[in-house]
Amino acid sequence: MQQAPQPTKLAERIGSLDFLRGIAILGILVMNIEAFSYPEPMSPFKYGFESEVDRTVRFWVYFLAQGKFFSMFTLLFGVGFYIFLERLEKKNYGLRAMDIYARRLLWLFIFGIFHAYLIWNHDVLYHYAACGFFLFPFRTFRIRQLLVTLLVPVGILLYHSWTTTSENRKQQQDYNRLIQIGESRRSEEDRGKIARWEDKTREKESEVWDRVIPRQSLVESWKANARYTRVHEGKIFYHFAFFRTFMMMLLGVLLYKSGIFRDYRKYRYYWGFTGSLLLFALVINYLWYEHQTYAYFKPVTGIWKGLLTTFHSEALGVSYVLILNGLYQKYLDKLKFKPLSMAGKMALTNYISQSIICGLVFYGYGFAQFNRYSRSELLLWVGGIWTVQLIISSLWMRHFSQGPLEWLWRKLTYRSFN
């Protein structure tokens, strides 16, 4: 009789991956907390700007964190799912390996649905699960084949950036042409184009306080989540996020197959490549977020700037992965106390618990601290939640091999509670 699959043993775990997951899951909170605390969290001028310090803080937060840890988390999900399937296939489970893999994704999808509808509507788990099904056909691809496959989402995203920038450029050219025409000779359509461009390029004023505290009850929160999530209407993927997610997951598989997570030293130019990528990523991120923070009212009309900044978050996210992977293997692998690695082993539990904590702190059904803090003050909450999660993760992992939700996920996947 074939032995039932067991959780990954400590000796089988790749230490750098747990460490990277810990960094990614904590880093994600830096951005996610804004969605709990402000009406329009991504706005570069509304809410949370009580002084020029807050604008500077916002620049550095977005420059170093926005999209970067999400990219890391996505890449590591791709790695994790590939390792899971690889280990099942090595144990000769045959078609049963496909069944277990599919059930694992299905239960992650269900976790994501519960999270999205009952706790927070910006969940990524069900989106990851749906994307995970697309990874299966590529598990046998070699590195060169994966590189060729990556050209598809890369090309689609570059085309999207090109069309968006070209549209901005056309609107600017139309505006410059139309203002040369006498007002009496302009049509209604001409006047509409002029008004839309002037509104688009007008610097906005900061709005410090919105008196409406959302989600006064759990029922109200559930209704708001349903209005946004809309999986019940068949909307499974986030708008245009599929290609970025699939690209990063596939890149995760590629990097794992390269062997860098076990020993980066096999690549002579690892640090040279990593340093070059980091420098490039920092430059394009600076260009993007300097514009988005201080000149957000000026649409990007330069084609090259639009194309160069298409993958600003992904480039810096991959740089973080490569740097931290190398540093872990070189300096941290032998340490006994690894709180970040403990947090990484409980990534699913910590992700969901971050949403629970933030909901209780900021929404009306909890302590109603919504829109009460400036951008700089909000970082204190981030540090506090990090501290709590690192302590709890370290204490929990002293006594258990998995986090509570990780344990439940495994049990549901293998259909056994014995």
DSSP string computed for 317-372: HHHHHHHHHHHIIIIITT-S--HHHHHHHTHHHHHHHHHHHHHHHHSTTTT--TT-
The pLDDT of 220-236, averaged and rounded, is 92
Residue appearing with tokens 């514009």:
291
State residue 94's pLDDT score.
73
Residue 397 pLDDT grade (very low, low, confident, very high; cuts 50, 70, 90): very high
The pLDDT of 117-141, averaged and rounded, is 93
Q: 202 versus 325: which is more confidently predicted? A: 325
State residue 136's pLDDT score.
87
The pLDDT of 144-162, averaged and rounded, is 96
Lowest average pLDDT, out of 28-37, 56-65, 183-192, 279-288, goes to 183-192
pLDDT reading at 185 higher than 80: yes
The pLDDT of 46-54, averaged and rounded, is 86
The pLDDT of 271-282, averaged and rounded, is 97
> By the 8 A CB rule, do 112 and 405 touch?
no
How far is Cα 355 from Cα 158, in angstroms, rounded to an integer?
33
Q: Where are the alpha helices (DSSP H) in 67-142?
A: 68-90, 95-118, 125-135
Q: How many Cα neighbours within 13 Å face the side chain of 247?
A: 22
Per the structure block, which two tokens stand in for 403?
Answer: 């986090």
Please, what is the Cα angle at 290 between 286 and 291, to 5 degrees? Answer: 120
pLDDT tens, residue by residue, 298-338: 999 999 999 999 999 999 999 999 999 999 999 999 888 89
pLDDT tens, residue by residue, 378-388: 999 999 999 99
State residue 237's pLDDT score.
83
pLDDT reading at 10 higher than 90: no
pLDDT reading at 40 higher than 90: no
State residue 131's pLDDT score.
93
pLDDT reading at 231 higher than 80: yes
Residue 211 pLDDT grade (very low, low, confident, very high; cuts 50, 70, 90): low
State residue 418's pLDDT score.
43
pLDDT tens, residue by residue, 12-24: 689 999 999 999 9
What predicted TM-score, i.e. pTM, was given to this entire model?
0.93
Lowest average pLDDT, out of 275-289, 351-365, 367-381, 404-418, goes to 404-418
pLDDT reading at 262 higher than 60: yes
Average pLDDT, the chain: 91
pLDDT reading at 371 higher than 70: yes
CA 249 to chain centre: 12
State residue 337's pLDDT score.
80
Tell me the percentage of the chain whose pLDDT exceeds 90.
Answer: 73
The pLDDT of 93-121, averaged and rounded, is 91
pLDDT tens, residue by residue, 54-90: 999 999 999 999 999 999 999 999 999 899 888 888 8
The pLDDT of 375-399, averaged and rounded, is 96
> By the 8 A CB rule, do 109 and 129 touch?
yes
Residue 346 pLDDT grade (very low, low, confident, very high; cuts 50, 70, 90): very high
How far is Cα 260 from Cα 256, in angstroms, rounded to an integer?
7
pLDDT reading at 212 higher than 90: no
